Amino acid sequence: MTDTAQPRPRTRLYLITPPQIGDVSAFRKSLEETLSAGDVASLQLRLKGQDGMIDMQATQEVGAAVTAMAQEAGVAVLINDAAELSRQLGADGVHLGWDDMPVKTARALLGPDAIIGATAKNSYHRAMQAGEDGADYVAFGAFYPTTTKEGTIPAELELLEVWQSAMILPCVAIGGITVSNAAPLVTAGADFLAVSSGVWNHEDGPAAAVRAFNALFESLA
């Protein structure tokens, strides 16, 4: 009998913006350099107010400045929390958490081709439910402590191992990921690593971080 099992595709980087962006045109320039440094599968615009809620005005402003540029670089653009704004910006999809719009509602609004991601935190059950509801990926986290988001819940590597061995739906790992601590998540089976501060605050700058993540993924493939 022939073995038809396919090797798992290489883990890819899922870049998340800083939660606040002061100078949009400086950010656009930095992002352009960052995206040209190596493979980035997707970019999530995650602009938050001090209350942790989406900053619609900032998302609109940054989205108008960077969406087409990122898409031309081959990077899918997702909007955090806001499906309707994703549609208005011509973005590729939306990332939804437990307090956000249901996946099915977003699908009805954005159509079959949109990329819809769903937060699973540390719950295999919530991930299964999101998959049944039509999500295109599920995100487990937080794998490490983070200052980017308050109130995260610790997640174990085993979630990635079990999900990868049983499911076809891609899984994302998130939470405090840096070049230095990423390897176990890759080995455990994350299809994507979602990273904010580990890129934007990298000691050699964000473009160097993208190069270093890609070198790591290549070395573990």
Ligand X SMILES: Cc1nc(C(=O)O)sc1CCOP(=O)(O)O
Nearer to Mg ion, 55 or 100 (CB): 100
Instruction: Say whether residue 176 binds ligand X (CB under 6 A).
Output: yes
| Bond preceding residue 221 cis, omega within 30 of 0 | no
Which of 13, 27, 81, 121 contacts Mg ion by CB under 5 A? 81
Which of 24, 61, 97, 109 contacts Mg ion by CB under 5 A? 97
Q: How many residues bind ligand LCLJCK34 (CB under 6 A)?
A: 16
Ranges assigned E (strand) in 55-96: 76-80, 93-96
Ranges assigned E (strand) in the chain: 12-16, 42-45, 76-80, 93-96, 115-121, 137-140, 171-174, 192-195
Beta carbons within 8 Å of 152's beta carbon, 6+ residues apart: 121, 141, 142, 145, 146, 175
Binding residues for ligand LCLJCK34 restricted to 19-38, rule: CB under 6 A? none
CA distance 213 to 183: 9
Residue 130 interface partner, choices ligand X, ligand LCLJCK34, Mg ion, none, CB cut-off 5-8 Å depending on type: none
Residue 206 interface partner, choices ligand LCLJCK34, Mg ion, ligand X, none, CB cut-off 5-8 Å depending on type: none
Are 125 and 156 in contact by the 8 Å Cβ rule? The answer is no
Beta carbons within 8 Å of 204's beta carbon, 6+ residues apart: none
Binding residues for ligand X restricted to 198-217, rule: CB under 6 A? 198
- Binding track over 8-47 against ligand X, x by CB under 6 A: --------x-------------------------------
**Interface residues toward Mg ion, by CB under 5 A:** 81, 97, 100
